[in-house]
Amino acid sequence: MGSIPDPGELSELNPLSFDEFQRQTSLMTSCTLLWKELSDHFTSLEQNLQKKSAALRHKIQTLDTQTKASLDVLKKREVTIDGSVEIAMEKLEDRTEATLNSISRGQELGDGEVDDGDGLLMILMSYCLKMEARGFWKFVVTKKKEIEELRNALPAALSECVDPAKFVMEAISEVFPVDKRSDKSGNDLGWACVLVLESLIPVMVDPVIGKMRMLVTPSVKEKAKEIAERWKASLEERGGIENVKTPDVHTFLQLLVTFGIVKKEDVDLYRKLVVGSAWRKQMPKLAVSLGLGDKMP
C-alpha cells in the first residue's frame, strides 16, 4: 500500500501548483489576446484588399467605358469626314454660279455703293471668293452703320472662302493684336474684329457632327494661339489690364472662343478681363464660353 502523504508536504506542493496555474492562465490569456489581435489584423487586411480590388475593378470599368466612348467618337468622326467633304462639295457647286454673278455685280456696284442687303452680301462674297482679305476688311469697316446687315451677311459670305479661318486672321491682322495703321487717331475698329470673329464660328462648325469638330487647319489654329500669346505679352507694355481698351479685350476673348484656344491656366486673367469690361452686353455669354460661369463675382 502506498504511504499517505504528509500534510506538511501537501502544504508545500499546493503553492507551487497554484503559481503554475496562474502562469498557464496568464499564458493562455496572452495567446488569446495575440490571436484576437492577429485575427483583427488579417480581417482588416482582407477588407482593405477587397476595397482596393473593388476600386481597381471600378477604374478598369471606367477606363473601358471611356475607351469605348473615345473609339466611338473617333469612328464617328472618321465616318463623317466623307459626309462633310461631300456636303462641302455640294455647297461649292450650288454656290459657284451665284458667286460668279456676285463678283460681276459687286464690280458694278463698287465698294461704296450698296443698294440693299443682297448687294452687300454679293460684294462680301466677291472678296471672300477671291480671298482678298485686305479689301474685305476695308469694306467691312466702312459699314458700321449697317452692322446688322453685316451680321446677317458675313457667315454666308465667309463660307465662300477657301480657308475662312485663315482669311479672317489676315483680315483683322491690320489692327489686332497690334494696330498697324499709321493714323491711329481714327475710330476704334474692335467692333469689326469681334463681328468678323463671331461670324466665323458657324462657318467653321462641321456640317455633320457640329461643334464637336471645328473645320480649322492646325497651322491656322497655331497661328491664333501665337496671336493670343502676343497680345497677353503686350499687357505689361500697355500698363497692365487696367489700361487696356475694352474693344481690344473683347477681340482677344472672342478670338479665344472662336478658335477654341482657351487655356485653363489663364482663367484668372480671363476673369479679370471680363470683370473690367462687364458693362458690355456680350460679356456674360463670353464668360460662359470661357468657362467662367461659376467663377464670376
Return the axis-axis angle of helices 164-172 and 218-233, rounded to nearest 10°.
20
pLDDT tens digits for 206-263? 766 666 667 788 899 999 999 999 998 888 887 788 888 888 889 999 999 999 898 8
Among residues 176, 171, 178, 177, the alpha carbon closest in space to that of 134 is found at 171
Residues 135 and 174 sit within 8 Å (Cβ to Cβ): no
Which pTM was predicted? 0.64
Q: Is 59 exposed, middle or buried (0-12, 13-18, 19+ CB in 10 A)?
A: exposed
Would residue 54 count as lying in a domain?
no
Q: Which residues of 153-187 are buried (b: 16+ CB within 10 A; e: fewer)?
A: bbebbbbbbeebbbbbbbbbbbbbbeeeeeeeeee
Three-point CA angle 156, 159, 162, nearest 5°: 155
Q: What is the pLDDT of residue 10?
A: 46
Instruction: Output the DSSP codes for 57-79.
Output: HHHHHHHHHHHHHHHHHHHHHHH
Decide which of 140, 163, 186 is a domain's last residue: 163
220 and 159 belong to one structural domain:
no
Q: What is the pLDDT of residue 73?
A: 74
Which residue type, as a one-letter code, is found at position 210? G
Would residue 260 count as lying in a domain?
yes
Query: CA 151: distance to chain centroid?
Result: 25
Ranges under pLDDT 50 in the chain: 1, 10-13, 111-112
Among residues 232, 240, 237, the alpha carbon closest in space to that of 263 is found at 232
Q: What is the largest CA-CA distance in the chain?
A: 149
Would residue 94 count as lying in a domain?
yes
**Residue with C-alpha cell 473617333?**
74
Which residue type, as a one-letter code, is found at position 133? A
Would residue 16 count as lying in a domain?
no
Would residue 280 count as lying in a domain?
yes
Give the length of the chain: 297
Which residue type, as a one-letter code, is found at position 144? K
**CA distances (Å), origin 144, targets 38, 60, 153, 236, 290:** 83, 57, 13, 31, 27
Residues 87 and 210 sit within 8 Å (Cβ to Cβ): no
Would residue 109 count as lying in a domain?
yes
- Which residue range(s) make up the domain with 232? 216-297
Torsion of CA 39, 44, 46, 52, to 10 degrees: -170
Would residue 112 count as lying in a domain?
yes
Number of structural domains in the chain = 2
Would residue 198 count as lying in a domain?
no
Give the DSSP H/E element, type plus range, for residue 94.
helix 7-109
